[in-house]
Amino acid sequence: MVYNDALRARETARNESMPFPRISDLSKRLITEAKKTPERAWLGEVSAVVLQQSLRDLDTAYRNFFEGLRGKRPRTGAPRCKSRKGTRQAVRFTANACWSITAGGKLRLPKIGDVKVKWSRTLPSTPSTVTVVKDSAGRYFASFVVETGPQEVLPKTDAVVGIDLGLGHFAVLSDGRKIDNPRFLRRAEKKLKKAQRALSRKEKGSRNRGKARLKVARAYVRVADVRRDFHHRLSTELIRENQAVAVEDLAVKGLARTRLAKSVHDAGWSAFVDMLEYKAARYGRQFIRIGRFEPTSQVCSHCGVKDGPKLLQVREWTCRACGNVLDRDVNAAVNVAKAAGLAVSACGAQVRRAPVPAQRGEAGTHPKRSSVRWEQAGTSGRQTGEDVKPGTWPAIAPATPPTA
């Protein structure tokens, strides 16, 4: 409520061509004085630190918006009012709120009391801030801000990998491994349909509808959780095993507007690639993203000859230049690694890139000499004694050097 009141006050000042009110003025008017009114008397039941953080969040949102207009950061939309019916709600307590963790492992929050916590891990140091988040399924999470030591750097390895993401297989690696696509949403569709049908039959505004809505939300949250766990496990495994990881920059937004939209969203490629990127930076690995227009499915990974585009139904093809039978996905994964500058052999095994010596001799005919020979040949074949069709290159014998 304080966030929306402050946003409304600033928008009113902008419409009236007045300067934006400062945080101190908004705090005095919307918090201190508002508590004395009957409409906002309930603000006294909430910690004052939480109300102050709402004003700071609004100030940060405006700062990010204006910096985006100046080009200093990615452009974002203007701040908007928050809804109390949103799928995610959060409150943040700083050190000034005098919150603490009790000896019994409970979280003591001001004007709330002791809250029982199921700890997922031990905190590495004393936290400075805690944020309590409520998701759409009615679950509460506590997120702590702690100070950690230097980031862990994994031991170096010679292994590199290129990844080709898809729908038939979630990921195909340049070493030949294929990771199946779990299709979490597809597997849970039967249960989701049953929960949604039950929700649609409930009367709007009733308590039973609220319970049914919570069941639907929990079903969707369970799908998102198992998908996120799969992404974390696979990305961690790839980062630990390989020194460098290369992926292709896919047009996910474009693919999500096709008939494959549900399958594309179910795979979650963008979230998986983001995990690879930040984990590589955290553990001292190299992450490379190549352009989406690289012809990874058209180039032979053995000889490098571009064999042209192929239909999606073609899963194996034979190179016309070298005769090797290529798996479409494995070949694309190897080409992803090569396009990123990683050393991968034609069979998919990782190798070190060997130094290439400089070429000492000219491998062809000098451009000036070739143009002279073309003019000499003309279209009648006078030099070779045979007729030459226009636009063709005649076979010309080397000229005999003059004798002394």
Cβ atoms of residues 269 and 227 within 8 Å:
no
First CA to last CA across the chain, in angstroms? Answer: 103
CB-CB neighbours of 342 under 10 Å: 23
Runs of H (alpha helix) within 41-108: 48-70
Number of H helices, E strands in the chain: 11, 13
Q: How many residues does the chain have?
A: 404
Catalytic residue among 5, 175, 266, 329: 329
Catalytic residue among 5, 164, 175, 266: 164
Catalytic residue among 5, 175, 248, 266: 248
DSSP string, 312-360: TT--EEE-TTT--EEEHHHHHHHHHHHHTT--B-TTS-B-PPPPPPPP-
Q: In the annotation, is 329 catalytic?
A: yes
Q: In the annotation, is 225 catalytic?
A: no
What tokens appear for 126 in the block? 């004393």
Q: 16-49 burial by CB neighbour count: b if 16+ within 10 A, else e?
A: eeeeebeeeebbeebbeebbeeeebeebeebbbb
DSSP string, 120-157: SS--SS--SEEEEEE-TTS-EEEEEE----SPP-PPP-
Which amino acids are annotated catalytic? 164, 248, 329
